[in-house]
Amino acid sequence: MRQVELGRSGVRVSEWALGTMTFGNQTPEDDAHRQMDMALEAGVTLWDCAEMYPVNPVTKETAGRSEEFLGRWFAARGRRAEVVLATKVCGPNNAIRGAQGFGDGTVKAACEASLKRLRTDVIDLYQLHWPARSHYHFRRNWSYDPSSQDKAANLSVMDDVLGQLSDLRAEGKIREFGLSNETAWGTVRWIDRAEALGAPVVRTVQNEYSLLARLYDTDLAEVAVNEGVTLLAFSPLGAGLLTGKYLDGALPPASRKALNGDLGGRASPRVDGAVAAYHGVAREAGMDPVHMALAWHRTRPFPSIPIFGATSANQLSRILAGLETSVGPDLAKRIDEVNRAHPLPY
């Protein structure tokens, strides 16, 4: 598999990434370990986790279980050095620490707890799961209101976190730093403050990005190109919508939609029409729509690594079968036409 660089870090990873947010809830440990075997055999070396995983639902009792599954796999297989390991610390208002934010050494303590669960000495990419301030992702864009933000307070949080990250890097516990659910303003400010303080700089931003969710195409794309930031695209299959498994009112048992209803606001009245249109384009191209949706990331004018997740090894087999799929200029044009006809369907 082609290797790409995380930002300007010098760290090279596979151009696709394995997501693990179902490990420990929808995905039992034996299946999770099989998925990790399959991913590494296919050359997928970037694996993403978080201290709060698994999801569907997120609970204090299950938080950390996904990291534990990874840790036991590393201990059993002895192949930690072959994986570029990413995980995340929760922002405020989370199931683990409640309203507590990133201050008072929270980032350092959370990192050390993750290291123990993961059974490793170092996390290759340590990410903030979401900002201490609000973010449009959690409002599905339509009710986002930043008017009450305090710039000085936001910058103070950044400086505190960067100090903790500097300590962790000096102790050899993290290598690189990334963001998640972040904005253009936030990303640039994190970069500015890191440069001013000599702290770890931003290498990646993990935001939702897919055929159905293309907000990143504007301001953040410009930031990515000019500042050397790689997008780690979560939900590249639109939380499963782009597989087509929910079309015509279908509701597979134990699926994400069966567990949480509207897929976090994604199951909108307009989304089925968009999914059907993309499936039509894939049929015309003689291509699996899952493979098309993931391969499309290679066409972007900025670096984008899709993070795919699967609840079972069988689902992962379908995904991995499309690793060599490519989207040519004509197909990319057809995809853009569908996007214009079905913009922001959720």
The string of pLDDT tens digits covering residues 198-235 is 999 999 999 999 999 999 999 999 999 999 999 999 99
Would you state the structure tokens that stand for residue 25, as one six-digit string?
């809830």
- Chain segment 154-175, per-residue pLDDT in tens: 999 999 999 999 999 999 999 9
Q: Is the pLDDT of residue 41 over 70?
A: yes
Question: What's the pLDDT score for residue 190?
Answer: 98
- pLDDT band (50, 70, 90) for residue 255: confident
Strands (E), the chain: 3-5, 12-14, 17-19, 46-48, 84-89, 123-128, 174-180, 202-208, 230-234, 304-308
As a whole number of angstroms, the distance between CA 201 and CA 192 comes to: 9
- Domains, the chain, in order of start with CATH, read 3-241+302-328 (3.20.20.100)
Question: What's the pLDDT score for residue 126?
Answer: 99
As a whole number of angstroms, the distance between CA 67 and CA 164 comes to: 21
- pLDDT band (50, 70, 90) for residue 236: very high
Question: What's the pLDDT score for residue 256?
Answer: 85
% of the chain beyond a pLDDT of 90: 90
- Chain segment 262-284, per-residue pLDDT in tens: 888 899 999 999 999 999 999 99
Catalytic residues: 53
Would you state the structure tokens that stand for residue 281, as one six-digit string?
């384009």
Question: What's the pLDDT score for residue 265?
Answer: 87
The whole model's pTM is what? 0.96
